[in-house]
Chain A
């Protein structure tokens, strides 16, 4: 069974990360932007798992587990913020949420 080289996994992770990055920058709907962030989390997870398999070290997989937990907390808090903003405005667009702008 031929093994897939590490660089292929890393290239795929980089492509997925950039798709999420461009999506986050281009889209204005906060829910879609959050999904782009989830794509970026997953690209990092894929790179971690690939390194763990390559070097035979379980620590990479532990890190993926921690990242999944943090991503769940982040999604919950961000969606709560979206719901809270939506109570005041009929339309959710990140361009309109500039109260805390520095």
Chain B
């Protein structure tokens, strides 16, 4: 478990840096796929079996395919490569500094005294039956609200991307 965690952590950090630093968006997508797979393995070590499956199916299967389709659509004629130095080029150094500051703040919070791990969770923790029971009884309203969010997203995407003529 310990070795698995550190291997997955190294893969996660390495691929995350690759995602934000590569010039080609397609390379970023490939890095993101590996990142999501490593995160699914971490979910398994946290006895969240259903979430690990959802991570692979929804994120790597659906969202990243959407990214790939958009990249393929936008790069038919020309390459939307990152220009790098833009009008806001001076923001690189402050961004990195603020990132370091945010990391320091989070480190203070993380290293503060958390309650020790409770007793070992029940054997069916995170399995599909217990997850479904929790989702459809205790958190039924959130589950139903999710349907509304997805409906709004579908309507918004069809309105924006489906029009022939767009006026600003």
A residues lining the B interface (CB < 8 Å): 1-12, 14-29, 31-32, 34-36, 38-39, 42, 45-46, 49-50, 52-56, 58-59, 61-62, 64-66, 68-77, 79-84, 86-88, 90-93, 95, 99
Residue from A1, A26, A42 whose CB has the most chain B CB atoms within 10 Å = A26
- CB <8 Å contact, B71 and A73: no
Measured CA separation A74–B82 after assembly (Å)? 22
Residue from B47, B120, B152 whose CB has the most chain A CB atoms within 10 Å = B47
The distance from the CB of A9 to the nearest CB of chain B, in whole angstroms, is 7
Measured CA separation A32–B78 after assembly (Å)? 17
- CB <8 Å contact, B51 and A14: no
Interface SS majority for chain B: helix
Known: A39-B19, A79-B66, A83-B73. A2 touches B2 (CB 8 A): yes
Known: A29-B80, A32-B28. A83 touches B161 (CB 8 A): yes
B residues lining the A interface (CB < 8 Å): 1-2, 5, 9, 12-13, 16-17, 19-21, 25, 28-29, 32, 35-36, 39, 42-43, 45-48, 50-51, 54-55, 58-59, 62-63, 66-67, 70-71, 73-74, 77-78, 80-84, 86-88, 91-92, 95-96, 98-100, 102-103, 106-107, 110-111, 114-115, 117-122, 125-126, 130-131, 134-135, 138-139, 142, 146, 149-150, 152-154, 156-157, 160-161, 166, 168
List chain A residues, Cβ under 8 A from B67.
31, 34-35, 75, 79
Measured CA separation A10–B153 after assembly (Å)? 31
Residue among B12, B20, B62 making CB contact with A22, cutoff 8 Å: B20
Measured CA separation A38–B102 after assembly (Å)? 18
